[in-house]
Amino acid sequence: MFPERNIVKSEIINESIKMENKKVLKSGEFLVDTVAAKDVFIPEEFND
Amino acid sequence: MIAQTCQDFLDTEVYPIMDKIDAPDIQLMKATLKKSGELGLMGIALPEEYGGFGQSFVTQMLAAETIGAGYSFSVAFMAHCGIGTLPIAYYGNDAQREKYVTKLATGEILGAYCLTEPGAGSDANAGKTNARLSEDGTHYILNGQKMWITNAGFADVQTVFAKIGNDRILSAFLVEKDMPGVVVAPDEKKMGIKGSSTAQIFYNDVKVPVENLIGTPGEGFRIALSILHMGRIKLGANVLGASKKAINDSVKYANERKQFCVLISTFGAIKHKLAQQAIKTFAAESAVYRVSKDIDDQIEKNKEAGLDKGRATIEGIAHYAVEAAILKVYGSEALDFVIDEAVQIHGGMGYSAEMDVERGYRDSRINRIFEGTNEINRLLIADTAIKRAQKGEFDLFGPAAELYNSIDSISSDKTTDEDYYTEKRRYMANFKKVVLIAIHGVTTYFDKKLVKEQEVMNNISEMIMETYIAESLALRVEKLEGIRGQAGIYRDMLDVYVYDAADMVRKSAMDAVNSFASPEESEKLNAAIEKLTKVAGVNVKEARRRIADKLIEDNAYKF
């Protein structure tokens, strides 16, 4: 199993990627709607 | 971190024995898989109550990306953790989950997914494997043949799709390899991923207890499709990891190899290749994690609506079917580009079996074939988007008709005072307008026959895919600049990507409208498409050189 420290860290990751009031589009809806950059998750947010 | 644990496992347990695994040595593959299970790597996606770690979908994708650099091990591992385990985890009942998933989570047993048959590949529901209920109603008698089954040589439990009696739709069953009548053929000899076991499995009057039916009778096709959505979206993460490994191999070699007394990494032609490898990979990555978080959000919504965690997850993934197909097609084709250029950068050495890129080149090819061929997935992109709009999930046809009917007055909406990101947002909006114009044209002209016009469907899919990837990249770079305060090299990536994407959108749109429009209409439509895909000139040579220079300086993909 993972060392315990890894589990704790991954829980922190899960917490850190929550974005409040995010606008979520349906599949394919991006064709007729826009998303703001702030509402998109980017991989750099794992660390930032 | 989980990604680091996965990377450490590849570095210490997989790469040192990769040649032996690919010899092939199926028992060594099995032992390595079990080792990964003992370390907990197989439980990342599974709920805690069944021995897993219940990680977010984003975290699952990060782990899938890391493992994706593991060549044939990656294929065997992902087949076990994904299609081999998740049908039971997501659709099984508590008893089935307790009996199998807890052991699959630790690698105590290994899993396989048995859908494809000699006459049923892309047309999955055409399978002939049959399950007849016994007279006493205690078991099904299974007869049939499956092929191209990953992990067939050692999987202890198989999810087998078959039709009950005269049903026209599939059901799903849990079959154990030791049940009498299960016969696994010798492994296939393959072009690549040689260490993964791939074989046919025959079922001859296999008695499968009725309690081994997954879900309800006739639910198998839905399960199969849902699991394939999941498989193809995770493949989008796997190929990302494989691409980064190939880029690292490329730049390291280019920084060591001298010709004409200088390192080949100083040559513009090599810089062009390195930059293109990085741009495509970075763009794919932007879309992969954008969708992953959208899926996490949808899973939460599904749970709030009362679905259990398993169903909430699989329905959340299926919700993003269009994007899943985009990630599969774009990612697998980006990897093929990246690894092909990796071989080219290595020159003669790239053709040598001593080099990782040679293995990568052979292993990459399967990604365009399995988890639904790219041809099927391309059709799915356009077809699913159009069908979901037809069902009223969102209004696609209203804005599309409006644009089409005002084609004579269409403009690029360029203003004199737009800043960098305003300009990029306008480009994205215009690409979308082009997609809508083309969709209105082809759906109006071909109507119900559109589905048979596969070339036109491909044109539409290509536009949707390029637009989604470009937009994901633009949004990432804009957000990144907001976080870090500068985004020089990332702006270069975005500039080059959009400059190229505009050409692809324009070409696909013109191909689509020219397939039905009269000469007069075609002229009008092409003029509008030309306006909407016009982007500012970019010094792509210098932009690519700056991107390549960062790769060369870091001697690795560190974007």
Give B236-263 pLDDT, tens digit per residue: 999 999 999 999 999 999 999 999 999 9
Mean pLDDT (whole number) for B486-496: 93
- Best CA proximity match to B502, nearest among B424, B448, B436, B442: B424
> Do B498 and B424 meet the contact criterion of CB atoms below 8 Å apart?
yes
The rounded distance, in Å, linking the Cα atoms of B160 and B112 is 9
Burial class (CB in 10 A: 0-12, 13-18, 19+), B59: buried
ipTM over 0.90: yes
Mean pLDDT (whole number) for B454-465: 98
For residue B420, the one-letter residue type is Y
**Between vectors from CA B501 to CA B516 and to CA B245, what angle results, nearest 5°?**
130
Residues of A in contact with B50 (CB under 8 A): none
Given this model, what pLDDT does residue A19 score? 57
With residue B113 as reference, give the H or E element that holds it: strand B111-114
Nearest CA in chain B to A8: B1
Given this model, what pLDDT does residue B405 score? 93
Mean pLDDT (whole number) for B531-552: 98
The rounded distance, in Å, linking the Cα atoms of B255 and B209 is 60
Widest distance between CA atoms in chain A: 46
- DSSP secondary structure of B460-481: HHHHHHHHHHHHHHHHHHHHHH
- Beta-carbon separation of A6 and B321 below 8 A: no
Q: How far is B260 from chain A (nearest CA, A)?
A: 39
pLDDT tens per residue across span B347-363: 999 999 999 999 999 99
For chain B, the average pLDDT equals 96
Dihedral sign from CA coordinates of B219, B224, B229, B230:
positive
Mean pLDDT (whole number) for B524-529: 97
A25: DSSP letter: P
The rounded distance, in Å, linking the Cα atoms of B314 and B459 is 29
For residue B318, the one-letter residue type is A
Given this model, what pLDDT does residue B417 score? 87
Place A11 in a pLDDT band, splitting at 50, 70 and 90: very low
> Do B74 and B13 meet the contact criterion of CB atoms below 8 Å apart?
no
Residues of B in contact with A29 (CB under 8 A): 393-394
Residues of A in contact with B320 (CB under 8 A): 27
Residues of A in contact with B432 (CB under 8 A): 30-32
- Best CA proximity match to B423, nearest among B413, B436, B433: B413
* pLDDT greater than 80 at residue B514: yes
φ and ψ at residue B300, rounded to 5 degrees: -60, -45
Q: Which of B285, B341, B358, B371 is catalytic?
A: B371
Place B1 in a pLDDT band, splitting at 50, 70 and 90: confident
B11: DSSP letter: I
Given this model, what pLDDT does residue A24 score? 72
**Alpha carbon B475 to chain centroid, angstroms:** 21
Beta-bridge partners for B132: B141
Using DSSP's 3-state secondary structure scheme, residue B413 falls into coil
- Give the rounded percent of residues in chain B with a pLDDT score beyond 90: 94
Residues of A in contact with B232 (CB under 8 A): none
Given this model, what pLDDT does residue A47 score? 54
Q: Tokens at residue B292, please? A: 């992953």
Residue A31 has its nearest CB partner, among B298, B319, B432, at B432
Please list, in sequence order, all residues whose beta carbon lies within 8 angstroms of the beta carbon of residue B491, skipping any fewer than 6 positions away.
B420, B477, B481
Place A8 in a pLDDT band, splitting at 50, 70 and 90: very low
Between A7-21, B84-98, B119-133, B521-535, the lowest mean confidence (pLDDT) is in A7-21
Residue B55 has its nearest CB partner, among A10, A24, A42, at A10
Mean pLDDT (whole number) for B40-68: 94
Place A13 in a pLDDT band, splitting at 50, 70 and 90: very low
* pLDDT greater than 50 at residue A6: no
Mean pLDDT (whole number) for B171-189: 98
The rounded distance, in Å, linking the Cα atoms of B228 and B79 is 11
Q: How far is A11 from chain B (nearest CA, A)?
A: 8
For residue B263, the one-letter residue type is L
Q: How far is A35 from chain B (nearest CA, A)?
A: 8
Place A20 in a pLDDT band, splitting at 50, 70 and 90: low
Q: How far is B519 from chain A (nearest CA, A)?
A: 28
Using an 8 Å CB-CB cutoff, list residues of chain A that contact chain B.
1-2, 6-7, 9-10, 13-14, 17, 19, 22, 24-38, 40-46, 48
Given this model, what pLDDT does residue A7 score? 37
Mean pLDDT (whole number) for B385-397: 94
Residues of B in contact with A20 (CB under 8 A): none
The rounded distance, in Å, linking the Cα atoms of B164 and B434 is 46
- Beta-carbon separation of B56 and A43 below 8 A: no
Place B430 in a pLDDT band, splitting at 50, 70 and 90: very high
Beta-bridge partners for B184: B201
Beta strand B157-164 with B111-114: parallel, antiparallel or unpaired?
Answer: parallel
> Do B146 and B183 meet the contact criterion of CB atoms below 8 Å apart?
no
Given this model, what pLDDT does residue B487 score? 81
- Beta-carbon separation of A44 and B483 below 8 A: yes
Q: Is B135 a catalytic residue?
A: no
B interface test, pick of A1, A13, A41 with most B CB neighbours within 10 Å = A41
pLDDT tens per residue across span B87-106: 999 999 999 999 999 999 99
B268 vs A25, higher pLDDT = B268
For residue B149, the one-letter residue type is I
Residue A13 has its nearest CB partner, among B59, B321, B482, at B59
Residue B396 has its nearest CB partner, among A31, A40, A44, at A31
- Beta-carbon separation of B479 and A40 below 8 A: yes
Nearest CA in chain A to B434: A31
The rounded distance, in Å, linking the Cα atoms of A48 and B476 is 13
pTM, two decimals, is 0.94
Please list, in sequence order, all residues whose beta carbon lies within 8 angstroms of the beta carbon of residue B476, skipping any fewer than 6 positions away.
A37, A40, A42, B286, B290, B490
Using DSSP's 3-state secondary structure scheme, residue B201 falls into strand
- Per the document, the length of chain B is 559
B512-518 own/partner pairs: CB under 8 Å, 24+ apart: B512/B438, B512/B441, B512/B442, B512/B456, B512/B459, B512/B460, B512/B463, B513/B437, B513/B438, B513/B441, B513/B442, B515/B442, B515/B453, B515/B455, B515/B456, B515/B459, B516/B441, B516/B442, B516/B445, B516/B446, B516/B456, B517/B441, B517/B445
Q: Tokens at residue B263, please? A: 């390192």
Burial class (CB in 10 A: 0-12, 13-18, 19+), B12: exposed
- Give the rounded percent of residues in chain B with a pLDDT score beyond 70: 100
Nearest CA in chain B to A31: B432
Mean pLDDT (whole number) for B470-495: 94
**Between vectors from CA B128 to CA B125 and to CA B134, what angle results, nearest 5°?**
115
pLDDT tens per residue across span B435-450: 999 999 999 999 999 9
In this structure, how many other beta carbons lie within 10 angstroms of the beta carbon of residue B366? Answer: 21
Given this model, what pLDDT does residue B413 score? 86
Nearest CA in chain A to B385: A28
CB pairs under 8 A between A and B: 122
Q: How far is B353 from chain A (nearest CA, A)?
A: 34
pLDDT tens per residue across span B188-240: 999 999 999 999 999 999 999 999 999 999 999 999 999 989 999 999 999 99
Residue B479 has its nearest CB partner, among A13, A26, A37, at A37
The rounded distance, in Å, linking the Cα atoms of B366 and B361 is 10
* pLDDT greater than 80 at residue B60: yes
In this structure, how many other beta carbons lie within 10 angstroms of the beta carbon of residue A48? Answer: 11
For chain B, counts of helices (H) and of strands (E): 20, 10
Q: Tokens at residue B106, please? A: 């630790």
Q: How far is B322 from chain A (nearest CA, A)?
A: 6
- Beta-carbon separation of A19 and B293 below 8 A: yes
* pLDDT greater than 60 at residue B365: yes
